[in-house]
Chain A
């Protein structure tokens, strides 16, 4: 049905479009597209610079979709993508384009725009030979523009700078061109000025794709070799893998092997994505499409894996770096009775997002849940939002933490762990100072772009976050690009929000991982009347312990109800108390009032308190309501 609907689009084709030749079954004859008439490219941009709008125009102009008013972010299928104006899940669309008497197959591989998803970006980039780097003609170069540029640059792709939104009143393409020249070292002349919204000059973009991006290498005559660069899960067909055919050809019915697992599969279905699935009989070298081959689990279609024909082994393509979780957070159902529903929602969601790591966890206060690892903060937010929107699950998410490391000094422990260096995600496993040579914390290299009026404020914010300035350049006469080395821990909670608010929204921020650095880390306990509260133990930098301990004690004081005795709320490092709040005991808690026989209301109130009491967690002799834990552990609402 999907394909059928798709064919109907041809009726709206424009002059530009030439109907591709189809074989007798009605599918495209892809053998008519040798490697030199194929271009694989993607679009990268800072958020809201118009990537999806340009994609919509490209799809319309090549007849992949009908030109209507409704085409807004066609490739962004998820509600969260449309709402946030971001792309989370890469999509692919094959476009047919006529240029100088030749028909070309242009494979647009859509990519996520945020560096959290740089893993997804790098997967997509690896299937491409070029990128369209979009920059907003008004906003100019932003942090993600720079990050994306470097990803493409490192992958040695052809880069076509596109200045979008030139129709805007405040557009200043001249300024943006010089920024591009200065920061990215791309000659001004290479920039294409467009308005994706109005379709202005978009034709030039298509021409540039053909003329400036090299065709994929590889030949139809080689043995079949393909790269898996993405995968989805479909309930009926199993895994749907997105593949880029690097060499040779593959037919429906072929027996193929996954180089990584060595498992053999039969190709049940092949096709192009335009962007809906469009089945074909074959895929040829240089082409990009999807494949269904009876894989039952996304783990069987490892991103970066190489596929080849049975009995025709090839040298595997250089593997991808596996996604590494950099931000961890606990996730718990608001009500334990919702655990099974939440579990199934999580399972379904992680089927399509293999970059989330999931570990069962259980907290005495919050019940059974999971410890999830995310690529970054946005990734975490998107995951949470998808759970809520697509699966209607409401969850408690704890404040994010980062994976620390410890270099062990004790020979016994090194033997026990099998290595000198261990990663610590759970504070309960934090090894004592006495058995550790040094602790390490993850670092990131952050890029901040902002008008120079905010430089002072931004510098003091960064200093506050233990950041070290690496670089600072004026990208034009008003805008500054600063690079800072941050401890990741310092930016995971509220850094971005603060940056945005102190710069009136003008600063943009992006970061890339920058390894580990030695750090003076300590374990901080929270005590209630001397009893440690396990779930509130945190690993923290020594210089942060006092303020953080104080804040936690204050929040607990606010949310633990007064009891009949005094409660000492303390933050401690080892045996040393560094912060304390006292919850005074009730001296009077009884309603001194005549009821006139009306005790119903009072009974209800007492019963409610009794019910609440049952649900409280006891720490020593102190009853702590779940809300108190939530208020301390939960990520603060924005």
Chain B
């Protein structure tokens, strides 16, 4: 797994990074680290074109303002790191938009900025989403030099017809080349994003596509279901009757088939959409699901952290300004573009921990829960509920010494399980608050 230290920029960044030893936080020390650590997400908002299905915060740039964007991302990173007072950034993720459109120098500047204000271990996971065009592929080396050590490649489909229909600007051949190149640079640290439930797909074509994919992919696969979102071109097409979305049953079968097939090829499903072998799970995404702090930098980025720097004591849900131009102006004026800050109540925090945690196949273990809810354990909260008992009996949920988690079947219907758990969580917590007040 260890890589040779390459390139000049890497040397530079290593010098600047403060070394820390606790890159993989274990639960033992987790409690202390909850507010000292965070992962960091950087949003690059630009795309060359809009995909028909995408409702993410992205813009087709009018002019070349990459330089200003780089400056502002750097500036906001500084501001938010200071605000959060975290001493360690455990992972970095460059997402978008199309972050592979960003100049590699921007990536390196941001990583350097992080290192200046917090420790970022040189083995800390730094992921970049790559659009597998010729441009994306040719810049991989430079991104790697800039400090990226994990690539997530937006393959989406191996069918050229579909790629065209979805509005993607690459071919399947280009995607395969990109995967090869990325694997060469970061062996074992390349993920592919694939989309199922596409309007023209059939179960059979998905079977074929999946086995093709298994022949070329590295050790990580993210499977996303195409969802119809308002405001997208696809939405209009479906409304206009020009495109028909697949039947729910077929999509279910596609999902189940992929889960089985990936499992047979040694991939462990560790989350609803994510599969890894050889311990190549994405640490960055895992830290979301484990309820850790994260700092969101860039237009429309989301964060969850305690703003210790201004005396905050509870975690906030923070959203940055959406429109890049407005965000840029705000960062230039006051150092950050945070548009919305909401203090999470204890209940809200636990709700997020529950909802995110249950997405993992390992679920929520007792220690993990205790970190956030030291008084009321999983058993106290979920042990007495009729609804939960039914889920345990029907085999959708498992609760044991390890903790609370979904069964294989349960994970596929998580969104039907979560409301039951949320009702129970709220009920017990409110009852507990009342009891607390009665005692006082």
Contacts and interface: CB of A to CB of B under 8 A. Distances in A.
Question: Do the two chains belong together in a single complex?
Answer: yes
Interface of A: 563-565, 584, 586-600, 602-603, 606-607, 609-610, 612-614, 621
B416 A589 contact: yes
Nearest to B425: A610
Interface in B75-131: 95
Nearest to B340: A600
A610 B426 contact: yes
Contacts of A587: 249, 252-253, 256, 412-413
B418 A606 contact: yes
Interface of B is mostly: helix
Given A564-B416, A597-B294, A600-B302, A592 B224 contact: yes
B296 interface: yes
Interface of B: 41, 43, 56, 95, 222-225, 227, 248-249, 251-253, 255-256, 272-273, 285, 288, 294, 296, 301-304, 317, 319, 348, 351-352, 355-356, 359, 390-391, 394, 396, 411-420, 422-423, 426
B422 A563 contact: no
Contacts of B419: 606, 609-610, 612-613
Given A592-B225, A603-B352, A610 B422 contact: yes
A598 B95 CA distance: 12
A564 B302 contact: no
A610 B415 CA distance: 10
Interface centre among A565, A595, A596 (most CB of B within 10 A): A596
A340 to B, nearest CB: 25
Given A594-B222, A598-B302, A606 B352 contact: no
B274 to A, nearest CB: 9
19 contacts: A564-B413, A564-B416, A565-B394, A586-B413, A588-B248, A588-B252, A589-B414, A590-B272, A590-B359, A591-B227, A591-B272, A592-B255, A593-B225, A593-B227, A594-B224, A594-B285, A598-B319, A599-B352, A613-B419
B414 A590 contact: yes
Given A597-B304, A606-B419, 13 more contacts: A589-B413, A589-B416, A591-B225, A591-B272, A591-B415, A592-B223, A593-B273, A594-B224, A598-B302, A603-B355, A606-B355, A609-B415, A610-B426
Nearest to B412: A588
A606 B301 CA distance: 21
Contacts of A613: 419-420, 423
B423 A614 contact: yes
A583 to B, nearest CB: 13
A597 B301 contact: yes
Nearest to A608: B419
Nearest to A612: B419
A283 to B, nearest CB: 66
Contact of B351 (A563, A586, A591, A603): A603
Nearest to A585: B413
Contacts of A603: 348, 351-352, 355
A603 B356 CA distance: 10
A595 B5 CA distance: 32
A566 to B, nearest CB: 12
Contacts of A595: 288
A557 B101 CA distance: 50
Contacts of B252: 586-588
Contacts of A592: 223-225, 255, 272-273
A621 to B, nearest CB: 6
Contact of A596 (B56, B223, B411, B416): B56
